[in-house]
Structure 1
Amino acid sequence: MLHLLLPLLLFISNVVRSHSAIIESLPGFTGDLPFKLETGYVGVGELEEVQLFYYFLESERSPKDDPLLLWLAGGPGCSALSALLFQIGPLQFDYSNSSGNKPLLKLNPYSWTKIANIIFLDAPVGTGFSYATTGRAYNSSDTSSAAQTYEFLRKWLMAHLKFLTNPLYITGDSYSGVVVPIIVQEVYDGNEAGREPPLNLKGYVLGNPVTCQEKDISQRVRYGHEMALISDELYESTKTDCNGDYMNVDPTNGACLADLEMVSSCLEKICLPHILEPKCNVISPNHTRLKWSRAILEENIVDIVSMSQQSKPWCRDYNYLYSYIWANDMKVREALHVREGTKKEWNRCNHSLSYTMDVLNSVVYHRYLSKKSLRALIYSGDHDLGIPYVGTLDWIRSLNLTLLGLWSPWFVEGQVAGYSIAYVENHWYDLTFTTIKGGGHTAPEYKPEECLAMINRWLSYYPL
């Protein structure tokens, strides 16, 4: 019996070295926090050279009964703090009362912590306040980051045993659409192999997810046509001349190149995250129209920090300026118990990562998971041009699942909040896809009330 306990005891001894603290107040917020916030580091990888930083918020309803969500932001390299402050966390900036270098915080009435415990994780290494103790350990990839996140989750739960039996969901948005299904497979296979501790995995949630960048970006042409940004004639001509491939264009195909030039002229002034919002001016625009870039996954940090909040028209990117000011304030770092000297500057999205995208299409993982006893919720803001919902729906259909329910509207406060469709696979796997009407990239930032209703109903096993 002793020889069976030794691996677990060794695992627990490693967990003890993790660092965590309970945060009772934060600069910019008046009074004590009316919820439980814990921050900390968990070492993963060889010799724990990677130190992953997290924010853990207990459910405001029933921590011992409510689900536990692990949340990963996009990028790769976008900090979980961005998701916490701008999307689904209990705090948000009070824009009307903030000024200059003094960002103020207020409560978010539509926080997902109303109904769930959430771990916001800065991953991969180099994201947010996560760091490595050696230069070599900063090298990461889709698969290595997924493995490190699985190790993080096991160690975190061993240090928080009271949450070990809570229903567990791996969740995230944007580029985490590539990494999350890999993590889910790691967890599922780990449970099957008897790895300690056993995790109470129930499923996964993805918002506006990247799946295959080439296909996702190519769908901008189709989506642009459906939203009347591209004419019928131009769309049909482009589809024919380019053979439906807008990413790998033959340089001798003059007709396709000419069509894409016209398509670019139609779309280049449209705001990718939300087609109805103003497009912000940038200092160094990319003039290469035919370069179909990863624009939705990137952010020009210099441009945003340099923006004048008095500039017209208003752009959503101006909101993000406060996060740079707040997170780089030494008093904030001290309050969050960020380790001194671990990172020179906090960036909302770190694009200087030493990161290899070694999974070009994550559909293979979804296909594997569809054979397991799991639940999945995929949602997309229907005004997102960066990762259009039409492409997401295409790869879901490619799984060849059994249709459970027809495309139909769902409602919040008597108004249509989106349209959903449900699938099953042999009664053990079920997947719900839904649009968020009027939502962008990513949906909770634009439609917080509707997204809270969505996740609350789905986690409770209710129809949307």
Structure 2
Amino acid sequence: MQLLTKTIPKWVSLRLLMLLLVSANVAFSGSIVKHLPGFDGELPFKLETGYISVGDSELFYYFIESQGNPQEDPLFLWLTGGPGCSSFSGIVYEIGPIEFDINTYTGGLPRLVYYPYAWTKTASIIFLDAPVGTGFSYARTPEGWPTSDSESAEQSYQFLRKWLDEHPQYLPVQLFIGGDSYSGITVPLVTKKVIDGVAAKVKPRMNLKGYLIGSPRTDSIIDENSKIVFAHRMALISDELFEQLKTSCNEDYVNVDPSNTACVMALAYYEKCIEDLFTNDILEPTCAFASPKLNTELERRSLRENPTNFILSPPRIPEEWCRNFNYALAYMWSNDERVQEALHVRQGFVLDWKRCNKSLSYTKDILSVVDVHRYLSKFGLQVLVESGDRDMVVPFVGTVKWIKSLNLTVAIDWRPWFVDGQVAGYTRKYLENGFRLTYATVKGAGHTAPEYYRRECYYMFHRWVHYYPL
């Protein structure tokens, strides 16, 4: 330490000194976390957190070991969407074994409680903060911050290789790649890299069995065009407007010629019809904003842009509740020094944790992964694609369309699936030369489905991952 200090000019900041010390020892073993601030007692599951160095990046992860049989249960690499949304969001709001006690929150550090219907009851899951700039992941050099779809997929693949090198006990178990929302782009890309790596005999050899995508962004044209069809099916626009849109825009609502006045005007009318909807779930209220409008012509701002700019309404008052208020608790909890110390977060590199970082230096360089899915269908993989049927961010309409374009054989046609004797959604199964794709909707769910119907999605996952019919 003394020798290193002497070689550094006086003007070098303490933060840079910390960075040099960390980079001098890039090999980092994860640390077991037994207690978390806000949670009463010892955690009833095994949690490990840490960093893996990939190029100029330090990628942070939360690993929760299966609460069932870790030696036999599958291993998942989980990528939350965005791009730029922390995997902690997936843990606490969607598929993990903890959640915030939102109903009794009165201020201070939010309280965490155990959630029993977690996917980790039957699978070990690595929740990765990717790409760099997401959650607690950071770059060691200025050149390391910019990234893209293709670079993020490569980083996630290299992370997985290094993580498995450090955790060889998980190499024999079945491996799946999973994620939701915008990670519908990166999950199939990472899956392809794993398959190609196995074919090239890259070490360590991964026991890949399949992948899972929820409310998946897949093709920019298909996904965007499907919003118009979805709006019509949900009675958000009239039959007349729908026919006018189809005719004047030639069913292409993305590449619109500005001189096509009829199409432009029809789209403007469509936007008016849906502008006050909460597109994550068209059945739920939009969020109130903290200050009144200065101009009635100004576009409404949403809490989705930055939850910390809005007043946290007491969720116990039903008429004041809005789903996005729940997210404010994640900001309060994750930015607490006690929490970061418990998680073994390196101090000084992420000064303001965000659930979803909208300021990433990120290039969306892959507009469609339909061909990647087509390539993957040549292999005997187990695949689950699921959608909330009230999600207008990535409507099920587009998801069904690209799945049909793969020309897979329908093994089990459209039917309901049940939880506790009630219809939880609808499903169809495809089978093609050992490639098994299950598509499922979650009735009444938004974007993404596990956040809205967490228990039902657990049963869906449990049945699928253990090769049972939904």
Q: TM-score, normalised by structure 2?
A: 0.90
Contact 2:79 2:179 survives alignment (8 Å) = yes
**Which residue number in structure 2 is paired with residue 219 of structure 1?**
226
Residue from 299, 303, 312 that aligns with 2:304: 299
Q: Is the 8 A contact 1:15 1:159 kept in 2?
A: no
The residue type equivalent to 1:299 in the other structure is R
Q: Secondary structure at the match of 1:280?
A: coil
Are 1:308 and 2:312 an aligned pair? yes
Q: Who is 1:10 aligned against?
A: none
Check if 1:230 corresponds to 2:240. no
Q: Which of 325, 330, 346 is the equivalent residue of 2:353?
A: 346
Give deviations 1:158-202, integer Å, cap 9, x for gaps: 111111111000000000000000000000000000000000000
The residue aligned with 1:246 is: 253
> Which residue pairs with 1:387 in the alignment?
394
Rounded Cα–Cα distance in structure 1 between residues aligned with 2:72 and 2:121: 13
Cα deviations across residues 331-382 of structure 1 (Å, max 9, x unaligned)? 0000000001111110000111111111100111101101112111000000
Q: Secondary structure at the match of 1:64?
A: coil
Match of 2:68 in 1: 61
Q: Report how far residue 308 of structure 1 moved.
A: 3.4
Counterpart-to-counterpart distance in 1, 2:286 and 2:221: 23
**Residues 298-350 of structure 1: CA deviation (Å, up to 9, x unaligned):** 9311x444223159542100000000000000000000000011111100001
Q: Please give the residue correspondences for 1:25-174 in structure 2 after superposition, counting only pairs within 5 Å.
A: 25-45=35-55, 49-174=56-181
Q: 1:264 aligns with which of 261, 271, 276?
A: 271
Stretches of structure 1 lacking an aligned partner (at least 5 in a row): 1-13
* In structure 2, C-alpha distance between the alignment counterparts of 1:113 and 1:318, rounded to whole Å: 26
Provide Cα deviations, 1:209-228, integer angstroms capped at 9, x if missing partner.
00122321221110010011
Distance 2:233 2:361 in 1: 37
User: Post-superposition shift, 1:424?
Assistant: 1.5
Amino acid at match of 2:96: G
One-letter amino acid of the counterpart of residue 459, structure 1? V
- Counterpart amino acid of 2:286? K
* Alpha-carbon offset, residue 283 of structure 1: 6.5
Cα displacement (A) at 1:253: 1.1
Alignment counterpart, residue 449 of structure 1, candidates 449, 455, 458: 455
Hey, what does 1:3 align to over in structure 2?
Answer: none
CA shift for structure 1 position 102:
2.2
Contact kept in structure 2, 1:304 and 1:317, CA below 8 Å: no
Cα deviation, 1:19-77, whole Å, max 9, x if unaligned, reads 310000000000010110000000012xxx21100000011111111000111000000
- TM-score for the superposition, normalised by structure 1: 0.91
Out of 305-314 and 162-171, give the one that drifted further. 305-314
CA contact (8 A) 1:418 1:436 kept: yes
2: CA distance, partners of 1:436 / 1:130? 32
Q: Residue 112 of structure 1: CA displacement?
A: 0.6
**CA pair 227-454 structure 1, distance change in 2 beyond 3 A:** same
Amino acid paired to 2:31 = A
Conserved 8 A contact 1:191-1:199:
yes
Cα separation, 2, equivalents of 1:98 and 1:65: 38
- Pairwise CA distance, 1:262: 1.3
State the AA in 1 paired with 2:232: H
SS at structure 1 position matched to 2:263: helix
Partner of 2:9: none
- Identify which of 450, 464, 468 aligns with 1:462: 468
2:443 to 433, 437, 443: 437
Q: Secondary structure at the match of 2:104?
A: coil
Aligned mates of 2:83, 2:185 — CA distance in 1: 10
Does the 8 Å contact 1:15/1:155 carry over to 2? no
Instruction: Check the 8 A contact 1:278/1:313 in 2, yes or no.
Output: no
Name the residue aligned to 2:12: none
CA RMSD of aligned residues (A): 2.1
- The whole-number CA distance in structure 2 between the counterparts of 1:305 and 1:202 is 43
CA distance in 2, matches of 1:320, 1:389: 25
Q: 1:274 aligns to what SS in structure 2?
A: coil
- Tell me which amino acid in the other structure corresponds to 1:461: Y
* Higher mean displacement: 15-24 or 141-150: 15-24
Q: Secondary structure at the match of 1:32?
A: coil
Matched, 1:374 2:381: yes
* Structure 1 runs, 4 residues or longer, greater than 6 Å off: none
Gaps of 5+ in 2: 1-23
In structure 2, what is the Cα distance between the partners aligned to 1:365 and 1:446?
Answer: 29
Matches of 1:88 and 1:109 in 2, distance apart?
A: 10
Q: Distance in 2 between matches of 1:357 and 1:230?
A: 30
Aligned length: 440
Alignment partner of 1:418: what SS? Answer: strand
Structure 1 distance, partners of 2:135, 2:285, is 28
The 8 Å contact of residues 15 and 158 in structure 1, kept in 2 or not, is answered as no
The structural deviation recorded for 1:18 is 2.0
